[in-house]
Structure 1
């Protein structure tokens, strides 16, 4: 049965507190965090890991100078860790393959114990396709991580040989957006009007209204819905990985919602979306978390030994696949935590990267 160790952990728990609760799960380990910059939860996540003496802490992102800035800050407080910067552009499959090749080539880092797939984009105002012809939010938030993880998985498998079952982990940072919908299977790239989709794939128009989005049924591309789709994929990816890797190798993967944090993630958001956020905050619908509070759920997902594969509970599938406010949540949309949907996504992802991964 999957569970959490500390029922007292909640939305206000800081990542450093979680790290201190599970020091042995970090000490001497090799950990990767993607999407690290000083103003984001990736840095808060890395900082918490660094506090408990990992052997290697690899921080990944698109900008070398920002990564080095983060390493400089981390060294001020935790100087005995081996920090490494990894250039990783998740929206470009060629760049992802180059980054994976670099990681595989590190002979002094033979194993990887934990990765937190934290990087992501949101609010891209106009429909944009990558060089591979994939909508950029889905490509960056899911496909890039899917490819990167599968390419470097041999080092996870090697780590799992010496770790307790389930201690080797792949954590996918999702979002509360995954509570709204699932994958837009019939129109992945947002070419059709929403009203022309099968009813089950149409957006949650009530969510659109909350965000000030009008005429949602007549719209094709809506940045919020592209984000929803990508964040549902993060959870489904975790289910797909666990189904393939847990029993065979002892590798566990989950998705989690970090909460609402005022970071650079919203830099592309429209004025209407920013106004909607301010209004929801004014009404008390949410409270902004600190970077440490926003990082804590990733730490629980990565470290808590009581967590296990998702299961059906109270007649609902996917209990344990989605963690929120440091506790297991049933809040994700049913299509975002379904084994059947996870298998469909795995096959689609293989097609989009033109490579099969049979673990």
Structure 2
């Protein structure tokens, strides 16, 4: 069978599995209690995700680099002279799997397994919106987790850490957060924003300020960012200054998005910003403001990231939480049967747009639709 056809069915079959699992886990009985055991019904989806994503081959810009990091785990200097830049926990994981004699593709399987378990563990505290949140979490992370492998392995531990953080379980949070930064140092950016978003429900004051900042971000030019390059170099750790020095890659990234794409992104973010703001008080007990404010910061910096790889990497950390904000928007407008027809229409548009982005991924060139059995 043609590899593109196999990829199409496996990828979209996974999407269907996530949707069905979300439906099952959201079902309630007459006493308004959830009907089915959470982990027992999640395990099938976890396995399918880990197989489809973990057994991919050469999909994502960093795949071959990480394949080599795994295969040269016990002698990294032979592959990469900058091996000292790899965080310790990530090296420990790779060295351990190498000592156990595991082939590289089982290590990728492990990376995927950790991420999907983290997503399910995180969403267990938000089971009321899991019907929407489970597939949306996949849509939000799928492309970037394939490209930025180590960063999204760290993101898994960030997801694990959020529940203890919001419940003031500082020991558990400290351990999990330390594990995240020991895999990818960029996780440190979460720390100040986590505290701001936890203790300030409206750090951006009101919706008008949010929309003004969002509008400005779309008018910002890469040249403005370059003026602050020296400052960034001064505050960045020494081991990362060589990234900044490669300006053509990190600070002058050329983005060739179509007008259609840019309009969709602008409207998508705008819709979530406006509809999400309405729910800050209503779902305060679900810690919704925490996720909304993380997304606001991410959406403001996201467009800047289309011109600068440095900003793009940082904005992704926060922008990913659009899936949580949209989940509550959809839950409130569709499941709770909001009577405002325009809110329903916009909510459906936002859901269709996110589904479109995911499904369009299946129409790819053949050489990046590979699985390990194609090699």
TM-score (norm 2): 0.30
Bigger fraction of residues in strand: 1
Bigger radius of gyration, 1 or 2? 2
TM-score (norm 1): 0.31
Bigger fraction of residues in helix: 2
